[in-house]
Amino acid sequence: MGFDEVSSIHHLHIWSLSSEEKVLPCHICSASWEEIDQDELIRKIENQLREVGQSCDEEGFFWLEDPYRDCGISQQAHKKLRKLIDTPILQTEHIRGLEIHTDFIANEATDYLRADPDYDAGITGAMKIARMTEGFGLDVEFHSAEPAQRHCMAATRGWSLSV
């Protein structure tokens, strides 16, 4: 990214789901969060994410995954980014609990939700998230393809898979 405040970018993946659908998730880290102008860094990252999002739009990416992961989980920031780009946002890999998953949808901060029975209170917790997501007319994406995730996928309308 070229920002002095950014110490690393990790978990950068570029995936093709098909010839028309692509995914580019990454995590951005800051070495000394307390010592920097956080608002300025967030503004820089927002501008950079807008450019990344617009590039994703141009290339036809399927979603932008957890764009602010290491800088916070602000629903307002995600909502603002959603308005600036056409590429859908996949959020909640690092969010736990039914209520906060619901808040992300209710506050228009994501286009898809991620659920994982390994982290979201087992199959029951993941299925509660899936049913709530369906109630809003959105799709849930189950992380990984282990037996518990496949069980959830089989019991869910319109699921997708991330590996």
Consecutive H or E run containing 63? strand 61-65
Helix (H, G, I), strand (E, B) or coil at 73: coil
Q: Is the pLDDT of residue 22 over 70?
A: no
Q: Percent of the chain scored above 90 by pLDDT? A: 2
84 in any annotated domain: no
Q: Which of 25, 41, 72 is the last residue of a domain?
A: 72
Q: Are residues 66 and 110 in the same domain?
A: no
Statement: residue 159 has pLDDT above 70: no
Report residue 130 as tokens.
């899936």
What are 46-99's pLDDT values in tens digits? 777 778 778 877 877 777 777 766 555 677 777 887 887 788 878 787 788 888
Per the structure, how many domains does the chain have?
2
**DSSP 8-state assignment for residue 139:** -
Same-domain status, 57 and 124 = no
pLDDT score, position 4: 66
**Residues with Cβ < 8 Å from 55, sequence gap 6 or more?**
none
Mean pLDDT of 125-132: 90
**Sheet with 112-115, side-by-side order of all strands:** 15-16, 22-23, 61-65, 89-91, 112-115, 140-143, 160-162
Between CA 120 and CA 80 the distance in angstroms is: 26
Q: Which domain holds residue 53?
A: 1-72
Q: Would you state the structure tokens that stand for residue 104, as one six-digit string? A: 């992300």
Residues 65 and 97 in one domain: no
Residue 66 CB coordination number (10 Å): 22
Residues 39 and 104 in one domain: no
Residues of the chain with pLDDT > 70, as a percent, come to: 70
Same domain as 101, residue 158? yes
Domain final residue, candidates 72, 106, 134: 72
Is 44 in the same domain as 102?
A: no
